[in-house]
Structure 1
């Protein structure tokens, strides 16, 4: 039989470079759409509802929508491949963004809430694209593949918040409330990403990974004397999936809770909306800009060590945000930058852990369920953040988030005491037997 290179044996598929290029293009486009809800979602709700206590509802709604979107996208990817799943997710996100604009224009809170749920599908797609980047990556380069896709989000995600004033003026000139302006940008951004993926993401990375894994299984079956260590793993390592998921869930919950209320906290202390947009732009940049370095560290130092660093970094961010003077933009910006970096550490390392533990045929649906958990954690953080601020203040919210983030450390410590292949990634990884 003709020899074929296999991604699970330490080789990159030749199609990986093209697939990463297409994903990068889509992420650059969609990043601006992702930033809309982060930057003005809470402010728009506060304006329409007249209550700070409910300002966290938009974040909770679009992250809850992201949970539903992740579940649906995961199932579509499992049945039909990454291309239709991701393209449809962005198209639905564009529809939801348009719904937010209409809701703000007619003053309908009910429509706003429904549209934010649909908008969440776009934010879910933006994050789930990282799995497509890892499908064909060799294990020793998997962290860098994930980080490449995340890094590509930086341009749109940083530019988007800084266009708050411009898009607001455009919206106002069309008779639309200014705070709905960023969602006009999201309509175009998510729509363009959907078209790019539908037209260009060929071959489908998940389908190709499955074919390569099946070919390796056939070769292994025809060579019974071959060392079992080089055979593809066909069973998921559930303990590894739990560890990676826990890291991502905790980091998402803490990040969303503190980030959601920061613009509200700043505006309550006299800061202009554009100033809050700048701080959020720095935060979003910190969420994605360090990705190349994070991916390198995840591959070289080990997944779990970077996961542990995420908890420590998020704790530092929470403490700094809690003690920062409300009128100090530099202090708040530094806290939000640390918040973004800690989230980045957790997402890249957790994604690598989960992907390492799943064979190609089991990835899409399992990864969708993982992202459902992440989105639900974000919804919990967003929903509770406004109530915590009303009851105890922004400092109490930030401090509680920092303390909660430290829970990542014992999870990682437990994993380090029982090391598996994901700490020092070999050329031919295989999951360890599940503990009895």
Structure 2
């Protein structure tokens, strides 16, 4: 007889450790992507493609990894994603050595798989979680990302020293940390993520043993699942649009600060506040979503996003107001993502969860990429303040969907 409570505790601990390792490795390299893209291409105009390729890589990998998890479990899926990310770091280094820009972009896209692994990890934390603790367990894994996000960028300088000692090209030394961290993740998942949380959940839910590590999968397509479970559609919409709102403002804020006389140090401080808002209080929002309900916390998140956008719009000329707005933006994203992810998980049948989760992660990344791209056009056309006003429309869609859902539930 499996002690599910003990297995879940160990699962959350292993997944949290994985988030720390993953953040340390990738956090030390993503900020170098723009520098390498400009250097290898010979044109600063191509520097933005680094972030785009990493985001697209995460989006492309999310659905295949989720399907792989549905068949073979989280342990193998997370390990596979980490192997691909490690291989991506190797490809990036090699592309710089031979000076091939397209190969660099391919490597950055492969590294983006690490983000897909991180997103799938938060869902893995819910596989065996009791309903009354699902939000909390998910949020603890999200919170663990904080360590890697904060410490990872500080490995850039040691990476350069290591790279120089090994005779590597400039800006590539830190990718050695990414390779090491991702391979360590493979070992961590394969050895310690046992029993597999998803396969165990399937066994417990279907009361049938999983033969040879391969589980039965959902037969319906994603369209049929979402039609049958409208709550899942609303949760997915809340996650994707909240992410789009956050990315569109966050991406343009550094440029706005510099254009208005701010220093690079001020940019770093503001983004640090924003990052802290995204992850540091996620356990609080997880606990609240378990106590108050997922829709209530999503609405709290949307309220925080509104406060951020209004503060930024009204106080766009004041650096203090902008910093406060970015912190609120991170908090709104955190509340909406944690509660939305828990709501998505519990709104569909067990065998259908991985498929829906993978589709949601892909949508989240694609909406974020679109938000970043469109934000530049909007800011260039009507300004930074107006960009915040436009983003309010995204929040209004989420709020309207939740309110309509509530009225339908009451009527039924």
- TM-score range (shorter-chain normalised) is 0.7 to 0.9
Q: Look up the match of 1:307.
A: 298
| Deviation of the 1:253 alpha carbon | 1.2
Q: Does 1:110 align with 2:90?
A: no
Relative to 1, partners in 2 of residues 1:414 and 1:335: Cα closer, same or farther, differing over 3 Å?
Answer: same
* Deviation sequence 1:67-98 (CA, Å, 0-9, x none): 11101111110110000001111221222234
Q: Look up the match of 1:97.
A: 89
Q: Does 1:280 align with 2:271?
A: yes
Q: Does 1:253 align with 2:244?
A: yes
| Deviation of the 1:138 alpha carbon | 1.0
Relative to 1, partners in 2 of residues 1:403 and 1:315: Cα closer, same or farther, differing over 3 Å?
Answer: farther
Q: Look up the match of 1:359.
A: 349
Q: 1:29 aligns with which of 15, 21, 26?
A: 21
| SS class of match (1:73) | helix
- Please provide the CA RMSD for this pair: 3.2
Deviates more, 1:288-297 or 1:357-366: 357-366
| Deviation of the 1:287 alpha carbon | 1.3
The answer as to whether partners of 2:29 and 2:153 remain within 8 angstroms in 1 is: no
The answer as to whether partners of 2:53 and 2:108 remain within 8 angstroms in 1 is: yes
CA distance in structure 2 between the partners assigned to 1:83 and 1:63 by the alignment = 23
Q: Look up the match of 1:66.
A: 58
* Deviation sequence 1:280-311 (CA, Å, 0-9, x none): 33322221111110111001011001111222
Relative to 1, partners in 2 of residues 1:316 and 1:133: Cα closer, same or farther, differing over 3 Å?
Answer: same
Aligned residues: 394
| SS class of match (2:341) | helix
Structure 1 residues without counterparts, runs of 5 or longer: 6-10, 218-234, 421-434
| SS class of match (2:6) | coil
Relative to 1, partners in 2 of residues 1:91 and 1:266: Cα closer, same or farther, differing over 3 Å?
Answer: farther
* Deviation sequence 1:387-420 (CA, Å, 0-9, x none): 3344444444344334423322111111222349
CA distance in structure 2 between the partners assigned to 1:239 and 1:68 by the alignment = 24
Q: Look up the match of 1:427.
A: none
CA distance in structure 1 between the partners assigned to 2:255 and 2:94 by the alignment = 23
Which structure has the highest helix share of the two? 2
| Deviation of the 1:23 alpha carbon | 0.7
| Deviation of the 1:117 alpha carbon | 1.5
CA distance in structure 2 between the partners assigned to 1:273 and 1:107 by the alignment = 29
| SS class of match (1:15) | helix
Q: 1:176 aligns with which of 169, 172, 178?
A: 169
Structure 2 residues without counterparts, runs of 5 or longer: 210-224
Q: Does 1:291 align with 2:282?
A: yes
Q: 1:388 aligns with which of 378, 392, 402?
A: 378
CA distance in structure 2 between the partners assigned to 1:33 and 1:357 by the alignment = 34
Relative to 1, partners in 2 of residues 1:332 and 1:379: Cα closer, same or farther, differing over 3 Å?
Answer: same
